[in-house]
């Protein structure tokens, strides 16, 4: 029976002191020679550096995914990263409906449910607040 790769690379057990001494010991093999340096064309380097440093192209300091100003009535937590999960029980029909919709729209089932659920919950919350105010 052929030996496995693990059998071939197994080493005899070592004590902690032996292992640390081997790790602290200077390398016994010759150092790897450095790659030869290539001549640098200073004209090309200077031109590239000037192009990078030129102020002609304004640099945007805002992230592209950052949203603009929010309405004062909007909850600042609305755009936080989702951190919680909960189980949703679906029967076979509901699950198949969700799967086919996800496949058709090429989105995750989670995104589809969230895209429908959050606006529905926000609307319910508005109705509830209006009913409590009256």
- Whole-structure pTM value: 0.43
| Tokens 């607040």 belong to residue | 129
Q: Which of 17-26, 38-47, 69-78: highest mean pLDDT?
A: 17-26
Mean pLDDT of 96-108: 95
Cα separation, 1 vs 116, in Å, equals 60
pLDDT in tens, 57-89: 555 555 555 556 667 777 778 888 888 888 999
User: pLDDT at position 115, please?
Assistant: 92
Tell me the Ramachandran region of residue 106: left when phi exceeds 0, alpha when psi lies from -120 to 50, beta otherwise: left
Of the chain, the end-to-end C-alpha distance in Å amounts to 84
pLDDT in tens, 107-123: 999 999 999 999 999 99
Q: DSSP secondary-structure letter at 62?
A: S
Mean pLDDT of 90-118: 94
Confidence of residue 20 (pLDDT cuts 50, 70, 90): confident
């Amino acid at each position: 029976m052929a030996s496995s790769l693990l059998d071939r690379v197994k080493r005899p057990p070592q004590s902690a002191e032996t292992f640390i001494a081997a790790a602290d010991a200077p390398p016994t093999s010759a150092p790897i020679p450095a790659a030869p340096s290539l001549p640098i064309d200073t004209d090309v380097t200077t031109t590239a550096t000037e192009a990078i440093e030129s102020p002609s192209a304004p640099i945007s300091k805002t992230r592209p995914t950052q949203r603009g100003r929010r309405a004062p009535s909007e909850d600042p937590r609305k755009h936080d990263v989702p951190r919680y999960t909960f189980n949703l029980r679906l029967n076979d029909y509901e699950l198949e409906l969700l799967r086919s919709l996800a496949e058709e729209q090429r989105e995750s089932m989670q995104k589809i449910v969230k895209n429908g659920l959050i606006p529905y919950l926000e609307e319910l919350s508005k109705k509830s607040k209006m009913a409590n105010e009256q």
